[in-house]
Amino acid sequence: MELAVPRFINTPPLPRVLRFEVPGRPTEGLWYIACLSLSERLAASGHALLTSALSPWASDTAPPMLDEALARLVQAALPYPGDHDAPVGLFDFSVDALLLAGRLIRRFGVSGRRAGPLGWLVALFDLITQIKHGTTATWHGRLSCDADLQVILDLSEREGLPAEIVLDALWRRSDPGGHPVLPPAIEKLSEPLAERAWRHLPPDVLLSAYANSLHFGTNIEWAWLSPAAWDAVVDWWRKHPHETLHGLEDLPEEHARTLIARRHGGFDGPATWRAFWLRFPDLCRESAFIELSSPPWEPLRDGVACSVPEAEVAPLVAQLQASVAKLRDNETVRLNVLRWAHLQTSARGAGWRAAFGLMGALTCAVP
């Protein structure tokens, strides 16, 4: 069976007449997708095909002009902005078309200079192959992540490679100094894909970058970190109490409880505690009560009880008033709370009258 098409020197076979058009798409590229897909199915079903750039499946070597046909196939399969080498998204048929091209690339290779869209696709399949075999993934210069990550994940999953393995490998890229670095444009990813990538950030990679103050050259998306990543960050903070705490606005409550329960200084001043009080007032109030009722307490220490916002003074005083009899039983505890109440009264904040009343309850004689 021979496809009746014109032959041109140094050009892959072309249809005699193109009867369809897709705005912005090289129509001959769509035709190559159709012909190569059709000839693959015909060859698989036992039809004898003459070898050409449109039906290479029966040959052990690449027929002439196959690279050119593949290049046009890739250009037609993906939306490109102008003359850029990398695409900016996917069509509904993109993955199937690229897998078709990938089968041909793996069977015949690519001859000559690997440039443009075809070189991009070859580099992408090389990367997927490295990840599949468990080797250290090298990030090709033309791959820019924001354009390619969705393609990599879709192709990998169709080839039986779970997204978790792919993302783990891509996160573990390193710069020449051995420090982890993000794919350069990850912050430009669309939100569903960006969230998926950040949720698979390995905790050890996050800690390595965090400890080296690298932050991957981008802002960490704290809201999308996995529980395991937060576990690692909180554990690191506990071991380095004088380091600045980042991402508090997205800190999960269970991890906030772990940090607040420490109550022992080292947090970077009142600003950190104010952030905790703003997000977790109930946890902070509970921690402040424990701090005040657990001797010894230093009124100038950088703890949660020294950073109570004005609006939280009265609720904390009410909690202390409810336990005033127990607080009076221990002289050290009574003096702790008395000194704290005196500080709040002297500050003349919104809750100073309640704090003054607590002072009276702690100092008056018991009838």
pLDDT at 216 over 80: no
pLDDT value of residue 176:
57
Let me know: does 308 contact 320? Beta carbons within 8 Å: no
What's the pLDDT band for 27 if we cut at 50, 70, 90?
Answer: low
Tell the residue number behind the tokens 């196959």, with chain if given: 66
pLDDT at 84 over 70: no
At residue 184 the predicted structure's pLDDT band, cuts being 50, 70 and 90, is low
> In whole angstroms, what is the distance from residue 272 CA to residue 184 CA?
31
Q: What is the C-alpha end-to-end distance of the chain, expressed in Å?
A: 111
Q: What is the pLDDT of residue 313?
A: 92
pLDDT per position as a tens digit, 320-342: 999 888 888 888 888 889 988 99
Higher pLDDT, 80 or 81: 80
In the predicted model, what is the mean pLDDT of residues 343-355? 90
| pLDDT above 60 (res 201) | yes
- Per-residue pLDDT for 126 more than 90? no
Query: Is the pLDDT at 264 greater than 50, yes or no?
Result: no
pLDDT digits (tens, 9 = 90+) for 292-316: 887 766 665 667 888 888 899 999 9
Which of 262, 246, 201 is closest to 227 using CA atoms?
A: 201
Mean pLDDT of 24-36: 74
Q: Are 310 and 351 in contact (CB under 8 A)?
A: yes
Q: Enter the pTM of the model.
A: 0.68
pLDDT attached to residue 141? 54
More confident residue, 16 or 44: 44
pLDDT-based confidence at residue 367 (cuts at 50, 70, 90): very low
Tallying the residues shown for the chain, one arrives at 367
pLDDT of residue 1: 40
Q: What is the mean pLDDT of residues 78-97?
A: 66
Look at residue 265 and tell me whether its pLDDT is greater than 50. no
Least confident of 12-26, 72-86, 173-187: 12-26
